[in-house]
């Protein structure tokens, strides 16, 4: 019946329909690659090929289902309805071979799972070390929670110290800092300044002293890192020192700049605590971690 109807179409309409359904039939034969079988193609093309001029919503829905059924049959039974010539069949086969070759060459390789960066962190002293995975979102607090059992201390009573330059300087890592960022920044430093660096998790008594101190002043510290101590060759002859370096674009050591960052020093330990208090409060809103509620 479909063949008779197509035969009685005007010449232009018949030739147009033949070309259109030849193309749709070809897409149907490639459904394994394009996910467009006759059913899917009919749902897309039927409203265009056989638009319904009905005002009733009920009739419109019923007609839509029927037109999809007809278009699906015209696509699936193209060869029986139109009887393609041998030349058309050969051309279609040639196109299919080219497409299959292209698809096989451009198929994406299966993604490889990326492993987490793993790092060693000392616990309480240099005698005990544990390896942890550093993910892009793992903060200092997360690491303290992960290692609190190893440290035999509640997580909110722990802190991480970043120790650099052959243990001459150390910095308290804030609870919200991403530990991976702390480790990765070392890669931008000179080899001499990073080769003996490490992280240590320990009791945060010093942090509690800082949090409990009186805030006396504010400094803009968003662009710097600060470390307790100084490199040995500075030798400021003082009880304490704090060294500052820029977070980004740290200058390499040179003949004109032989030092690691900039250092301030003092003789009174109380002054050191005041400096640390001001720096910590200027950089972070919260200093101490929040105790966890552990249900046993």
pLDDT, tens only, 113-163:
556 788 899 999 999 899 999 988 899 999 999 999 999 888 888 999 999
Record the tokens describing residue 296, joined without a space. 């046993």
pLDDT in tens, the chain (296 residues): 788 888 888 999 889 999 999 999 999 988 888 889 999 898 888 888 877 655 555 555 555 678 888 889 999 998 888 888 888 888 888 888 888 888 776 556 666 555 678 889 999 999 989 999 998 889 999 999 999 999 988 888 899 999 998 888 988 898 899 999 999 989 888 888 888 899 999 988 766 666 555 554 444 677 888 888 988 888 878 889 998 888 887 778 888 888 888 888 888 888 888 888 888 888 887 777 777 766 66
Residue intervals of the chain classified under CATH 3.10.20.90 are: 118-283
pLDDT given at position 217? 42
pLDDT for 179: 93
Fold classified for 118-283: Ubiquitin-like (UB roll) (3.10.20)
Longest CA span, the chain: 106
Measure CA 81 to chain center: 53
Sign of CA dihedral 269, 275, 278, 281: negative
3-state class of 259 per DSSP?
coil
Neighbouring residues of 161: CB distance < 8 A, sequence distance ≥ 6: 170, 171, 172, 173, 199, 200, 201, 202
pLDDT score, position 192 = 86
Q: How far apart are CA 222 and CA 234, in angstroms?
A: 25
- Specify the pTM: 0.45
Please report which helix (H) or strand (E) contains residue 201, including its range: strand 198-203
Do residues 243 and 189 lie in contact, with contact meaning Cβ atoms separated by under 8 Å? no
Residue pLDDT, tens place only, 232-268: 888 878 889 998 888 887 778 888 888 888 888 888 8
| Residue-level pLDDT at 58 | 54
- Write the CA distances from 256 to 148, 168, 253, integer angstroms: 45, 22, 8
Question: What's the 3-state SS for 135-147?
Answer: CCCCEHHHHHHHH
Structure tokens at 62: 């019923």
- Which phi and psi angles does 57 have, rounded to 5°? -65, -40
Number of residues in the chain: 296
Q: Which three-class secondary structure string do you get for 75-123?
A: HHCHHHHHCCCHHHHHHHHHHHHHHHHHHHHHCCCCCCCCCCEEEEEEE
Cross-strand partners of 151: none
Q: What was the pLDDT predicted at 198?
A: 94
Note the pLDDT of residue 216.
Answer: 47
């Amino acid at each position: 019946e479909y063949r008779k109807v197509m035969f009685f179409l005007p010449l232009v309409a018949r030739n147009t329909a033949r070309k259109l359904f030849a193309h749709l039939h070809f897409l149907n034969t490639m459904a394994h690659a394009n996910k467009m079988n006759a059913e899917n193609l009919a749902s897309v093309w039927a409203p265009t090929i056989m638009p319904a001029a009905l005002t009733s919503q009920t009739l419109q829905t019923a007609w839509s289902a029927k037109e999809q059924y007809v278009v699906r049959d015209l696509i699936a039974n193209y060869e029986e309805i139109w009887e393609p010539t041998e030349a058309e069949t050969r051309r279609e086969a040639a196109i299919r071979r080219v497409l299959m070759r292209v698809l096989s060459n451009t198929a994406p390789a299966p993604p490889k799972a990326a492993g987490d960066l793993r790092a060693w962190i000392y616990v309480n002293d240099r005698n005990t070390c544990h390896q942890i995975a550093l993910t892009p979102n793992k903060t200092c607090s997360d690491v303290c929670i992960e290692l609190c059992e190893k440290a035999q201390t509640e997580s909110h009573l722990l802190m991480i110290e970043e120790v650099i330059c052959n243990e001459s300087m150390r910095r308290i890592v804030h609870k919200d800092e991403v530990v991976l960022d702390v480790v990765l920044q070392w890669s931008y430093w000179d080899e001499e300044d990073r080769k003996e660096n490490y992280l240590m998790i320990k009791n945060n008594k010093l942090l509690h002293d800082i949090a409990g101190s009186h805030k006396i002043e504010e400094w803009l510290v968003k662009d710097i890192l600060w470390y307790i101590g100084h490199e040995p060759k500075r030798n400021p002859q003082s009880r304490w020192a704090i060294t500052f370096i820029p977070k980004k674009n740290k200058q390499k050591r040179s003949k004109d700049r032989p030092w690691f960052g900039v250092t301030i020093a003092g003789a009174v330990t109380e002054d050191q605590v005041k400096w640390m208090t001001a720096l910590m409060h200027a950089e972070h809103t919260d200093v101490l971690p929040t105790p966890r509620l552990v249900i046993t």
